[in-house]
Amino acid sequence: MNRRKTLAALFALTAMPGWLRAEGARRPKIGYLVLESIREAPSRERQAFLDGLHSFGLVAGKSLDIVYRSAENEPEFLRPMCEELLRENVDVLATVGALPTLACLQTTGTVPIVFLAAGDPIGIGAAESLARPGRNATGVSYILSELAGKRIEFLRLAVPAARRVAFVWDLTNREAQIEAEVAQAAAVKLGIRTDPVPVDSQSSLHAGLERIARARPDAIYMSFAAGVIARNRTTIAEFGLRHRLPVVSGWTFMTEAGGLLSYSPDIQAMFRRSAYYVDRIIKGAKPGELPIEQATKIELVVNLATARRLGITLPPDILLHADRVIE
């Protein structure tokens, strides 16, 4: 926990308590909770969220305060971190991903929660419906079931000879489990045999990759969820290249590192749009009455250099559909 205290100190300027303004009004305060490590310099996604807040006149350290907390990739610390944020008397909890969102929902039923990117808020129990969430959480979601099925379609187009695919997902993340189920069902409909490889830690991921290397499937599908898979994106991409196995995922950065293709929502746009919910809630709206929005921009990224290294000739349909081709 010492590392977390150090990180908290790094954010002293933007994460200070919500002291009173000169005119006596208390500044709104946001509690920002993530599973992964958080650094002083904002990631592209967090910067998009800050930019979105700025567009509503909400500037960290000036017109609102932000308290940051990270579980440092240890899910069991998410609830204690949320409890810390609640002790800071935050007005809104901003959560990144399913695990922080669920941890906050388990911790409070009253403080508003805005999830900045969630794959299946209904499936994980964070909302009753998209139109009327019902609980104390709302935000922006990507269309998990549709995206998973579409990735399988792109995999079939890119590697038409694929008959058996390894599906890797993080057991600790409910969203990843849902995605894996949808993706495997889509694969079965196309006559593709599925090889499930659930993982829940660094060691189990390495063991799973070793198993894949021995089994020699035709391709690998990596789930789109925060956790051990996202942290090992470069390792996974390099594994695929080394063993001549195309990697398909929802992670653009995995394709940039050497995966074959990815089909994913524009996460930065989702983070930016989430600021709208924070603004509405600060102005008095109830999260349970704010409809959940779905991502509108989805990107297909193809790594042509990887295709060449793997001896794969990508069909024109894939290249025509691609929003970006990595040479």
What is the DSSP secondary-structure string of 258-309? T-SEEEEE-HHHHHHHHHHHHHHHHTT--GGGSPPEE---EEEEEEHHHHHH
Average pLDDT rounded to a whole number, residues 10-14: 42
Lookup: tokens for 157: 């187009």
Element (H, E) at 133: none
pLDDT band at 40 (very low <50, low <70, confident <90, very high): confident
Residues 129 and 276 in one domain: yes
The answer to whether residues 30 and 74 belong to one domain is yes
Q: How confident is the model at residue 4 (pLDDT cuts 50, 70, 90)?
A: low
Per-residue pLDDT, averaged over 284-313, amounts to: 95
Confidence label for 19 from pLDDT (cuts 50, 70 and 90): very low
310 and 178 in one domain?
yes
Most confident segment among 3-12, 16-25, 139-148, 256-265: 256-265
Q: Are residues 125 and 236 in the same domain?
A: no
- 319 with 190, same domain: the answer is yes
Question: What integer pLDDT is reported at residue 230 of this predicted model?
Answer: 86
Q: Do 132 and 12 fall within a single domain?
A: yes
* Domain of 167, in residue numbers: 144-265+298-326
Q: Are residues 23 and 124 in the same domain?
A: yes
Residues 211 and 310 placed together within one structural domain of the fold: yes
Residues 9-27 have a mean pLDDT of 47
pLDDT at 23: 46
CA-wise closest residue to 7 among 103, 77, 108, 92: 77
Instruction: Report if pTM > 0.75.
Output: yes
- Written as one letter, the residue type at 169 is W
Please count the residues of the chain: 327
The CATH number of the domain holding residue 109 is: 3.40.50.2300
Same domain, 198 and 280: no
Q: What is the pLDDT of residue 223?
A: 92
Residue 20 has pLDDT above 50, yes or no: no
Mean pLDDT computed over 225-252:
92
**From CA 302, how far away is CA 28, in angstroms rounded?**
42
More confident residue, 231 or 275: 275
Question: Do 10 and 137 fall within a single domain?
Answer: yes
**Biggest CA-to-CA distance, the chain:** 69
Say whether both 34 and 23 belong to one domain.
yes
Same domain, yes or no, for 205 and 85?
A: no
pLDDT mean across residues, the chain: 90
The band of 193, judged by pLDDT with boundaries at 50, 70 and 90, is very high
Q: How many domains does the chain contain in total?
A: 2
